[in-house]
Structure 1
């Protein structure tokens, strides 16, 4: 009878899965493909959660990547000039929402250090702007080559306790930057902080001519609020317009200019945009009103 058969279908299935586990971890011939197969089997049988499977696969992917594969490219870097006064630096920090900034002299290929936004707090509590010297408060910049592997870089981030590195090409020119968050997001998925939260309002004024908005903001509302005329026949939402212009699903940090409006992706995943930042043309007048 089947119940007395030690080789029942269920037993055979379990044995097959366990055999694969043993094979992977006992020194027999093994490779990434075999390990992925085991993970897929475990996921299909609900032996591990999808989130766990995703994290393990993320670790496997990271082990093969180099810094050039994940860095924020040079064109999207937000930098500060070492000679800029405090009143020019603060708007850059507010508009970008970042906490660390490469500081350059002459041009972006001459990195002098890294500014931590928190190091400017003292100048808002008692110290006079005349005491301000950017050169005196910047931290040492960590410089790494594009070819460096991501896995040892993550170990360096942890052991040496820094969070950002400037990436250079074979000729010594700056090609981008990478943060510890960039690596962790490859493993655990999008990491949201205070600046990544979904905003309650469809449109929120940040500073100057910079606004933050939900990507699902109706295009007619966007046009009315910002006194513009994006084509409502092209998409229903402002996020739809942005995706159409990119021609692909943009990632966090990507920037595009449409009709002199600069759009930056603040939050997104593989399926949809979530939050955008828009910088308006200089002297552009908005109505600031939405239809009821």
Structure 2
């Protein structure tokens, strides 16, 4: 394990309940085991594994008027957006919402900011440019040293391939970070008498307590329903894929990407005299 990874590990090491007992001799919790796996995986990931693809990038043209810029920032709820000239293949930097707010405050008694034609020409900041092959560890160090927390991913011809933020990197280690703009989606939602939509992070024991359905798998040490699905498929299952559990329940993948499962549906079979016996 590299020095960088050991540093990350130290952030999440649990303090022992018994001060005389070393922390590394304490039994690991499910959350700690998952985070250790994430830290180990982080070392092998590249920018291309986590970047937002070009088609999903929200960015603004440098000629965008002030009032339109305010509307975009409000609608998208991002603190930083890339700035380009005519196309994404000609990026010029990024805009930070606090610079926009500060500009409004400074000019409130001077000029009418909302009438300015192209405020981004003077407000934009530098943005990082990185290749898709760069490791996440190297990008994290680059973001820390430059204090620039947004990077455009460019191909060998200089075209824009994607976008990655510091938050994307942190989420690879600690899991999804929900803020005030994220929709609050329940961990478990009943979708029928014997069907439930479930967050893949829900623990097997908690699911059993709520539904009386035990999805633990013999000879597999899995803590979450996402882990159950992974164990059944032997890989990251695809969206809409249906997996059959040994109990007879079906697990359908609702949301997933190339690295993890987000949500799934569990459908249990009704108990009959034959299945009960």
- TM class by shorter chain equals 0.5 to 0.7
Distance 1:84 1:120 in 2: 13
1:270 aligns with 2:276: no
Deviation of 1:133 after TM superposition, in Å, equals: 2.1
Instruction: Give the corresponding residue for 1:56.
Output: 36
1:101 aligns with 2:86: no
Kept after mapping to 2: 8 A contact 1:164/1:177: yes
Distance 1:180 1:55 in 2: 18
Kept after mapping to 2: 8 A contact 1:67/1:147: yes
Distance 1:93 1:217 in 2: 32
Instruction: Give the corresponding residue for 1:121.
Output: 101
Q: Could you list the per-position Cα deviations for residues 51-108 of structure 1 after superposition, in whole angstroms to 9, with x for gaps in the alignment?
A: 1221111111110011000001101100000001011111111111111000011211
1:140 to 126, 138, 149: 126
Distance 2:177 2:112 in 1: 36
In our comparison, the structure showing a higher alpha carbon Rg is: 1
Query: Counterpart of 1:176 in 2: which secondary structure?
Result: strand
Deviation of 1:124 after TM superposition, in Å, equals: 3.4
1:86 aligns with 2:66: yes
Q: Could you list the per-position Cα deviations for residues 25-50 of structure 1 after superposition, in whole angstroms to 9, with x for gaps in the alignment?
A: xxxxxxxxxxxxxxxxxxxx971122
TM-score (norm 1): 0.54
Unpaired runs of at least 5, structure 2: 2-24, 198-238, 241-252, 266-277
Distance 1:116 1:52 in 2: 34
CA-based RMSD:
3.3
Kept after mapping to 1: 8 A contact 2:126/2:148: no
Unpaired runs of at least 5, structure 1: 1-23, 25-44, 200-213, 220-234, 238-242, 252-267, 274-292
> CA separation of 1:175/1:101 partners in 2, compared to 1, >3 Å: closer, same or farther?
same
> CA separation of 1:128/1:218 partners in 2, compared to 1, >3 Å: closer, same or farther?
farther
